[in-house]
Amino acid sequence: MEISLIRHGQSIFQEKEKITNAQFIDWVKGYDEHGVVQEKQYPKEAMDRIKQSNIIITSDLIRSKESATYLSPNGTFTSNSLFREVELPVSKRKWMGMRLKPFVWLVIYRILWVLGYSNECESYHEANLRARKAAESLIELASKHERVSLVGHGIFNRLIAKELQAQGWEGMRKFSSKHWSCTTYRKVG
C-alpha cells in the first residue's frame, strides 16, 4: 500500500508588497480564492505518483483541486474539506500600523499558532486530531485502492505525514513543503 502526499502548486496570487495586518486578512482571503500557476513542466515524481494512483484526493480549496487537474488533466479526483489547510489565527488588531511582507505575517501567525494562539480558528491540537482522522481516511482508502495520492497543503500534509509515521508507515523523515513536492509512504507487511 502507498500513500503519496503532494503539495499544491504556487498560487497565482502573488502580492509581495509590505502590507498592514488588516490588509493581510484580505491577502489570506485572496490566496484562498485563487488558483495556481500553470507550469510548463511538473516534477516527475509527482506526475508518476498521480499516474500510478488508483484514487486521487484533494482538499476543497481551489489551489488543491486545480493542482490535481494540472497533474492529471484527464483524471478524476474527490475533494474533501477534511484535507483543507490549517487556517491562520489572524487577529484584527492594528499592530501599530506595522507593514510587513505577506510571507512575514504568515510566519508570525504560524509561530503564534504553534505556540497556542488560535483566535477562534482550529487550534494546533485540533489540527493534529484532524490530521489523525485524515491519515486514517487515507489508510482506509489505501487498503481498498492500494495506491492513493493526496494533493493537499504544506502544513496539513506535514501533520498527516507525522501521523502516518506514528502508525508505522515508512517514508522520508524530512518532509518537503516546496510547491509540487511529493512524499510517498508505504506500509510494509
pLDDT tens for each residue of 39-83: 999 999 999 999 999 999 999 999 999 999 999 998 899 999 999
Rounded to whole angstroms, how far apart are CA atoms 71 and 18? Answer: 33
Query: pLDDT band at residue 86, thresholds of 50, 70 and 90?
Result: very high
In this prediction, residue 14 carries a pLDDT of 82
Does the pTM surpass 0.85? The reply is yes
Q: Using an 8 Å Cβ cutoff, are 90 and 38 in contact?
A: no
Candidates 70, 67, 65, 61; CA nearest to 32 is: 61
Please give the pLDDT value at position 189: 64
- Residue 23's H or E segment, with its range, is helix 21-33
The fraction of the chain above a pLDDT of 90, given in percent, is 84
- Each domain of the chain, given as residue ranges in start order, spans 2-186
pLDDT tens string 151-184: 999 999 999 999 999 999 999 877 788 999 999 9
Per-residue pLDDT at 175: 76
What is the chain's mean pLDDT, rounded? 94
The distance in angstroms from the start CA to the end CA of the chain is 9
pLDDT digits (tens, 9 = 90+) for 141-157: 999 999 999 999 999 99
Give the C-alpha separation, 112 to 124, whole Å: 10
Residue 82 corresponds to which cell in the numbers above?
Answer: 477534511
What integer pLDDT is reported at residue 89 of this predicted model?
Answer: 94
Residue 187 and residue 168 in contact, taking contact as beta carbons nearer than 8 Å:
yes
What is the CATH code of the structural domain delimited by 2-186?
Answer: 3.40.50.1240
Rounded-to-integer distance, Cα 88 and Cα 110, Å? 7
**Per-residue pLDDT, 41:** 94
